[in-house]
Amino acid sequence: MSLYLIAEIGINHNGDLGIARKLIDAAADAGFDAVKFQKRTIDKVYSQEFLDSPRESPWGTTQREQKEGLEFGQRDYEEIDQYCKDRGIAWSASAWDLDSQEFIRKFDVPFNKVASPMLGHKPLLRAIAEERKKTFISTGMATIDEIDEVVDLFEKENCPYELMHCVSTYPMKQEDANLLCIPMLRDRYGCKVGYSGHETSLLKVCSAAVVLGASSLERHITLDRAMYGSDQAASVETHALRDFVATVRKIPLLLGVPEKKLTDAEMEIRNKLRVEVDG
């Protein structure tokens, strides 16, 4: 089983390209397949009233200043695109509005990603599906009927998709993981199903997800969980990424195949210890 690993940088770069490069380096060095960002057109995603409301942040005292401080623009993503090519790691971004999806199309990203909050944004879903590019679809905060609708939309557009089981709490309590949704979704839709996690534990939940057949894993990454940002506490710190990748990639090998067979090493022991007595 091939396991696709996505390091979710999201907005953990805090608007700093230097931090973004360090996170890309850590993901590439650890053996992730891709890094992922988030893209928003601030005035399309949020109301004027919300943007004018107060919020203390490193960038100012309003929600607008905080949201704008976390956004990368055209030149930033051009640098990210080239840097990822240089490091040999793929990248993409989840769009939160139509303009942002149009922006992402400027780059030759290998996949699209639908974030859980966007499952009710039908125009955005339709625009993504019409690209007919491999799409990872997170299912947090969604009922099974709502997932049915999204799957139907992507299938009608003949767009390849992979669902990702997700519980949208930040951080997620381990006992809320409900990982049996992974085989349930796979059986219901006949598609690959991954896991997008927001827990604080490094390996417990993700390891169990792989045992249950998750075909992909997405985890937020950070330089330091104590950094500013709503996603930092539910992220894996960069110093732990190598162990994370090594462990989850070994699980399919440990699981083997549903067939009882004797290895050469076990046969050697059998020849020494096996007792044969006909009764």
Report the SS3 class of residue 208.
Answer: helix
Nearest residue to 3 (alpha-carbon basis) of 233, 144, 194:
194
pTM: 0.95
Q: Give the residue-averaged pLDDT of 148-167.
A: 98
User: CA 267: distance to chain centroid?
Assistant: 42
Q: Give the residue-averaged pLDDT of 199-217.
A: 97
Domains of the chain by start residue, with CATH: 4-273 (3.20.20.70)
- What secondary structure letter does DSSP report for 28? H
What tens digit of pLDDT does each residue of 45-103 get?
Answer: 999 999 999 999 999 999 999 999 999 999 999 999 999 999 999 999 999 999 999 99
Looking at the predicted structure, is the pLDDT value of residue 1 above 70?
Answer: no
Q: How much is the pLDDT for 19?
A: 98
Looking at the predicted structure, is the pLDDT value of residue 235 above 70?
Answer: yes
Query: Which tokens belong to 37?
Result: 């960002």
Q: How much is the pLDDT for 123?
A: 98
Query: Distance between CA atoms of 77 and 79, rounded to whole angstroms?
Result: 5
User: CA 95: distance to chain centroid?
Assistant: 14
Backbone Cα Rg of the chain:
21
Q: What is the DSSP string of 122-151?
A: HHHHHHHHHTT--EEEE-TT--HHHHHHHH
Looking at the predicted structure, is the pLDDT value of residue 165 above 90?
Answer: yes
Report the percent of the chain where pLDDT is more than 90.
Answer: 98
Instruction: Tell me whether the omega of the peptide bond preceding residue 160 falls within 30 degrees of 0, making it cis.
Output: no
Confidence label for 224 from pLDDT (cuts 50, 70 and 90): very high
Q: How much is the pLDDT for 279?
A: 82
Confidence label for 114 from pLDDT (cuts 50, 70 and 90): very high
Distances (CA, A) of 269 to 168, 264, 265: 50, 9, 7
Q: What is the DSSP string of 79-126?
A: HHHHHHHHHT-EEEEEESSHHHHHHHTTS--S-EEE-GGGGG-HHHHH
Nearest residue to 6 (alpha-carbon basis) of 113, 152, 159:
113
Q: How much is the pLDDT for 2?
A: 87
Q: How much is the pLDDT for 85?
A: 98
Q: How much is the pLDDT for 124?
A: 98
Report the percent of the chain where pLDDT is more than 70.
Answer: 100
CA angle 272, 276, 279 (to 5 degrees): 165
